[in-house]
Amino acid sequence: MLKPRGVFRKKGISPCVGDRVNISLSDDGKGTVDEILPRKNSIVRPPLANLDRLFIVSSVAQPSPNTIIIDKITAVAVSKGIEPVIIFTKSDLGDCSGLLDIYRDSGITALCYSIKTGDGKENILSLLENKISAFTGNTGVGKSSMLNSLFPEFEIQTAEISKKLGRGRHTTRHSELYKINGGYVADTPGFSTVDIERYEMIELDKIQHCFPEFDGYICDCQFTGCSHTVEKGCAVLQAVADGRISKSRHESYKYMYNEVKSIPKHYH
């Protein structure tokens, strides 16, 4: 077990999963973290650093997918320079082709996976190779079960979804890195819909750049500083009307934009 030096606490710095560090080992085998090396990126909830890919796990059914939650997490990943990948689990319970179309048309890698059939397994494994990755998702979407089916040696604790509540119980209590495919994979605690309301906020003028499909239209808007929500002459709104940008993705963008806009500036 490695313990961080007290100096980190005094400076308000906390080591997190994914950090690259310098350590010291004593004769009794105990160790301390002496230095946290510069991070290329980090996210707050869950606390992770130096990620190459963030896999956002959602289920096709039981529970139903929430695109606002998915889009909030993909936007945070893009803002941090982390590649988002979306996996729709329980694909044996329903058709995920419409969901795949939304995200693939948005320039985001998306795929389906079924624990029962194993469909999609090779695609996931190839994306993990030689990368530092993490899996995150709503409680009950089958995230830990999926990782166990991909890597039985992990033996990650799982729990059945509650039929009464319509959601699963939290089973992963902390984030932990597992070495696999020449890289590392972190499972993270599941979150509730309430938790996502406290997810990282993105600055108002940067939200548009966290939706990759907007990039080809932003410069064509009639007015500088266009919010892409209601303005006449907005190229993004026109692309939504023409079906070139997904309506559900734009609804998520507006939700995030209005959410941040409603918060007093000193809280951003």
How far apart are the C-alpha atoms of 149 and 114, rounded to whole Å? 10
Task: Say what the pLDDT of residue 13 is.
Answer: 77
For the stretch 22-62, pLDDT in tens is 988 887 877 888 888 999 999 887 788 999 999 999 989 88
Residue 70 CB partners (closer than 8 Å, separation 6+) = 56, 58, 86, 252
What CATH number should be reported for the domain holding residue 69?
3.40.50.300
Q: For residue 193, what are the CA distances in angstroms to 70, 73, 111?
A: 11, 12, 22
What CATH number should be reported for the domain holding residue 261?
1.10.40.50
- The answer to whether residue 192 scores a pLDDT higher than 60 is no
Asked whether residue 148 falls in the same domain as residue 208, the answer is no
For the stretch 112-131, pLDDT in tens is 998 888 889 999 999 999 99
Task: Say what the pLDDT of residue 167 is.
Answer: 40
Asked whether residue 66 falls in the same domain as residue 89, the answer is yes
Asked whether residue 169 falls in the same domain as residue 103, the answer is yes
Task: Say what the pLDDT of residue 252 is.
Answer: 97
DSSP single-letter state for residue 181: T
Q: Which residue segment(s) compose the domain that 245 sits in?
A: 204-267
**Number of compact structural domains in the chain:** 3
- The answer to whether residue 227 scores a pLDDT higher than 90 is yes
Tokens matching residue 24 = 């010291």
